[in-house]
C-alpha cells in the first residue's frame, strides 16, 4: 500500500498539471487548436504517463507498474472511443470551434470528479463483497456485446434531454456541457469496473484514470480528422471489455473458494498475459482500421 505522503504528493502534482491545462484553455478559449499544437500536447501527456509508469516501482512495486500500464492502456483506449462520441456530439450541437476547448476541458474535469467519487465506492464494494466481481464481470460482458453490435454508420440522434434543454432556450455552450456530463457518467460506469478487473489498488486505479484523461482536450482536435478511419475501434474495445469481464468472473469464483467447475480447473489469468492481450488488441484494431479505410478509398489525405 502506498503511504499517505505518496498520495498527497501524487494528487498535488496531478492537480497542478490539470490547473495548468485549465489555464491554457482559458487563455486560448477564443482560438482554434492547430493539429501541430494538438499533436505536441498529446505526445507530452502520453510521455508523462510513460515516465510515471517507468518510475512507479520506486514508490510502489513492480507488479504495481504492470497494473498501471494495463489499466492506463485500457482507460486510454476507452477514452479515445469517448472522444469520437464527443466529436459527434459537439458537431451535432454546432458548438463553435473556439468554444470547444473550454467545453471539453470542463467536461473532462467533470469526468475526473465523477470517477473520483466512483473509485472509492468501487474499492469499498470489492473489499467487502468479493462476489461483486460477478456483477462487474457480467456488466462488462454486456457492454462488450452492445459495442460489438454498434452500427458505426448510425447517425447521431438527439436525446430527449438535449431537445428539452434547447426548447427551454438554454445556450448551446450549457447544453453541450450538460450533454458531455451525462455522457461521461455513462462512460465512467464502464471504465471503473474495467480497471478494477486489472488491479484492486486504489492508487493505481486513480492514477491510471487521471493519466488517461489528461490531454484528452488536445487529443479531441487531433482525432477529429480520424473519425472515419478507426472503424474497428468499438470492436477492439468490445473484445478487451469481454476479456476483462471473463477474467473478473474467474477471479470471483476463486474469491469464493471455487477453483474447479465440473472437474475443469478455472485458470488464473496473469497480469502479463492481460497486458499482452490489451496491447495486441489495440494494435490489431488500429492496423486493421487504417488498412481497411485505405483500401476502400475512405482514408483522409
Cell of 38: 494538438
pLDDT digits (tens, 9 = 90+) for 201-232: 889 988 998 888 887 777 877 777 666 677 78
Which residues lie closer than 8 Å to 270 by C-beta, 6 or more apart?
A: none
Give 3-state DSSP helix, strand, coil % of the chain, rounded to 5.
75, 0, 20
Spatial separation of the C-alpha atoms in residues 36 and 134, rounded to whole Å: 45
State how far the alpha carbon of 76 is from the alpha carbons of 46, 215, 216, 281, in Å.
10, 10, 9, 13
Which residues lie closer than 8 Å to 71 by C-beta, 6 or more apart?
A: 195, 198, 199, 204, 205, 208, 209
Spatial separation of the C-alpha atoms in residues 194 and 274, rounded to whole Å: 12
pLDDT digits (tens, 9 = 90+) for 238-268: 888 888 889 888 888 887 788 888 888 888 8
Which residues lie closer than 8 Å to 200 by C-beta, 6 or more apart?
A: 123, 126
Q: Low-confidence residues of the chain, pLDDT below 70?
A: 29-30, 88, 97-98, 130, 150-163, 165-166, 225-228, 295-301
Measure CA 80 to chain center.
7
Amino acid at each position: 500500500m502506498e503511504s499517505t505522503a505518496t498520495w498527497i504528493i501524487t494528487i498535488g502534482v496531478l492537480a497542478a498539471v490539470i490547473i495548468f491545462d485549465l489555464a491554457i484553455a482559458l487563455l486560448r478559449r477564443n482560438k482554434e487548436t492547430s493539429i501541430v499544437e494538438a499533436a505536441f500536447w498529446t505526445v507530452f501527456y502520453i510521455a508523462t504517463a510513460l515516465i510515471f509508469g517507468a518510475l512507479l516501482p520506486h514508490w510502489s512495486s513492480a507488479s504495481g507498474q504492470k497494473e498501471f500500464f494495463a489499466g492506463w492502456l485500457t482507460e486510454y483506449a476507452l477514452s479515445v472511443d469517448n472522444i469520437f462520441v464527443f466529436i459527434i456530439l459537439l458537431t451535432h450541437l454546432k458548438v463553435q470551434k473556439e468554444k470547444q476547448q473550454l467545453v471539453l476541458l470542463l467536461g473532462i474535469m467533470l469526468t475526473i470528479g465523477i470517477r473520483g467519487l466512483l473509485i472509492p465506492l468501487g474499492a469499498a464494494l470489492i473489499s467487502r463483497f468479493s462476489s461483486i466481481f460477478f456483477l462487474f464481470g457480467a456488466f462488462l460482458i454486456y457492454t462488450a456485446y452492445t459495442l460489438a453490435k454498434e452500427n458505426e454508420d448510425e447517425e447521431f440522434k438527439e436525446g430527449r434531454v438535449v431537445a428539452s434543454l434547447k426548447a427551454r432556450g438554454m445556450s448551446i455552450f450549457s447544453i453541450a456541457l450538460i450533454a458531455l456530463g451525462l455522457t461521461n457518467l455513462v462512460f465512467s460506469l464502464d471504465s471503473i469496473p474495467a480497471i478494477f478487473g486489472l488491479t484492486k489498488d486504489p492508487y493505481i486505479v486513480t492514477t491510471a484514470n487521471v493519466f488517461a484523461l489528461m490531454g484528452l482536450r488536445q487529443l479531441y482536435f487531433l482525432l477529429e480528422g480520424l473519425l472515419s478511419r478507426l472503424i474497428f475501434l468499438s470492436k477492439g474495445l468490445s473484445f478487451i471489455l469481454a476479456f476483462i469481464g471473463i477474467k473478473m468472473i474467474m477471479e470471483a469464483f476463486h474469491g469464493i473458494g471455487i477453483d474447479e467447475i465440473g472437474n475443469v480447473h478455472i485458470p488464473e489469468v496473469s497480469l502479463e498475459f492481460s497486458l499482452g492481450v490489451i496491447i495486441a488488441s489495440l494494435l490489431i484494431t488500429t492496423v486493421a482500421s487504417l488498412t481497411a479505410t485505405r483500401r476502400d478509398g475512405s482514408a483522409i489525405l
